[in-house]
Amino acid sequence: MTTPFLVGLVGARGHTGRELIRLIAGHPELMLAYAVSREFAGRPVADIAPEDKDECVFEALNPEEVAKRRADVVILAAPDGAAGDYVAEIERHAPGRIIVDLSADYRFNDAWAYGLPELNRANIAGKSRIANPGCYATALQLAVAPLLPKLGGVPSVFGVSGYSGAGTKPSPKNDPERLKDNLMSYALTGHNHEREATRHLGTKIRFTPHVHPAFRGILVTAHIPLAEKISEGDLMALFEEKYRDEPLIALRNAAPELKDGTGRKGVIIGGFAVSADGGHAVIVAAEDNLLKGAAVQAIQNVNLALGLDELKGVI
């Protein structure tokens, strides 16, 4: 492989696809080789992402055509359930090609690396099959992980997302009229990100999502039972130790608000409250669902797969 590395993008007209086009355009060693969209086929990519410097035109490529086109990396940013056909054709025609999939389709597959670099970058470096984590799952795992050795029960997490989290296919969860002055809970039990975080943290998590009227941004509030009492100072110190060398994780005493995460490349974690009886910690994390919750994390994973600096093109 020689630089610039060529990136093929499937799902390019979607919310995460647009962010990926912008990030690829700003990355010194990546070049957009093709951008797949059936609905926007024939339109210049610059129509929706003026940052595109590679003068691509959206193309309606099928999975076999994707596999046969020249690229070093394919990023799949299509809805859940769509990745399998692309992966099968790439396995057939170009098995060595790097694939980063943003959907939930391979997050439970042991043959794929799980791409949350701040918690497992050693398992991602040099890999060619990487499952990008879910948006809530990213924030909630980063909020809970430093307390894993101190757990005294099942963490319970409240999450709220902007409606871009629900994609572009019309649904009550992305209908601005229905969401106006409103907040909607959904998937009260068994949300996919509850299963995902439980699997990758290795401990039971309970999680309930909500969607609110802003376009983007995620806030999660994690209630974490503790096995032994801890002071608020020691609680924050555990996070400082875990994330000291992580440029995409910011810590602060006060609980972040949703807007603190919007537009941010990484995650901001705060709150660090301990209940009066000392048995229960509350941690709050904010991120942008389309950035650290999706596209920024995908670029970190592409960099790790290619052996580049993990944050190249990100900060």
Query: Using CB distances below 5 to 8 A depending on partner kind, what does residue 90 bind out of ligand NDP, ligand X2W, none?
Result: none
Figure out which of the listed residues 66, 90, 99, 164 binds ligand NDP, where binding follows CB under 6 A.
Answer: 164
Q: What are phi and psi of 114, to 5 degrees?
A: -95, 120
| Residue of 260, 139, 253, 254 lying closest to 201 (CA atoms) | 139
Asked if 134 is part of the footprint of ligand X2W (rule: CB under 6 A), the reply reads yes
Active-site residue list: 135
Dihedral sign for Cα 174, 177, 180, 183, please: negative
The pair of structure tokens assigned to 195 is: 């299963």
Place of tokens 């990030």: 23
Query: Using CB distances below 5 to 8 A depending on partner kind, what does residue 17 bind out of ligand NDP, ligand X2W, none?
Result: ligand NDP
Specify the pairing of strand 206-211 against strand 184-185. antiparallel
Residues in the chain: 315
Asked if 300 is part of the footprint of ligand NDP (rule: CB under 6 A), the reply reads no
Closest approach, Cβ 76 to ligand NDP, in A, equals 8
Asked if 262 is part of the footprint of ligand X2W (rule: CB under 6 A), the reply reads no
Query: Using CB distances below 5 to 8 A depending on partner kind, what does residue 209 bind out of ligand X2W, ligand NDP, none?
Result: ligand X2W
Query: Using CB distances below 5 to 8 A depending on partner kind, what does residue 40 bind out of ligand X2W, ligand NDP, none?
Result: ligand NDP
Q: How far, in Å, CA of 134 to CA of 228, rounded?
A: 31
Asked if 103 is part of the footprint of ligand X2W (rule: CB under 6 A), the reply reads yes
Asked if 293 is part of the footprint of ligand NDP (rule: CB under 6 A), the reply reads yes
Beta carbons within 10 angstroms of residue 41's beta carbon: 14
Scored b (16 or more CB within 10 A) or e, 248-270 reads: bbbbeeebbebebbbebbbbbbb
Contacts with ligand NDP by CB under 6 A lie at: 10-17, 37-40, 77-80, 82, 102-103, 134-135, 164-165, 167-169, 289-290, 293-294
Contacts with ligand X2W by CB under 6 A lie at: 80, 103-104, 134-135, 161, 165-166, 173, 192-193, 209, 211
